[in-house]
Amino acid sequence: DGGITQSPKYLFRKEGQNVTLSCEQNLNHDAMYWYRQDPGQGLRLIYYSQIVNDFQKGDIAEGYSVSREKKESFPLTVTSAQKNPTAFYLCASSLTGGVNTEAFFGQGTRLTVV
């Protein structure tokens, strides 16, 4: 099955911990994205990558980091600098960064600070 896989589905983080969210796609897509979703706020862009070994900050990149060492993988690390990390995190990919290409989403990771 082709698709985009996020893991884990649920993640609990202690104060001061870094955690990494996995995102893998086998669609051969060039572009990948990370969004954060909070109730009533829609989707906010954290980071995006148009090609391997290159990525750009989105609107709310502070406290997050990413890497894109392989085309298939775009992991997101939530660092201890992120003051309010509890949220639903969505990874997406698209064939290109073109203006008319749709995005495909993973099932999301719900992160909770305990």
Among 64, 71, 94, 111, binds another protein (CB under 8 A): 94
The full DSSP string for the chain is ---EEEE-SEEEE-TT--EEEEEEE-S--SEEEEEEE-TTS-EEEEEEEEETTEEEE-TT-TTEEE--SBTTB--EEE-TT-S---EEEEEEEESSS-TTPPPEE---EEEEE-
Min dist CB 92 to another protein, Å, is: 7
Range 10-69, binding another protein (CB under 8 A): 31, 33, 40-43, 45, 48, 50, 56, 58
**Cβ closer to another protein: 3 or 17?**
3
**Can you give the binding site for another protein, defined by CB under 8 A?**
4, 6, 31, 33, 40-43, 45, 48, 50, 56, 58, 88, 90, 92, 94, 96-108, 110
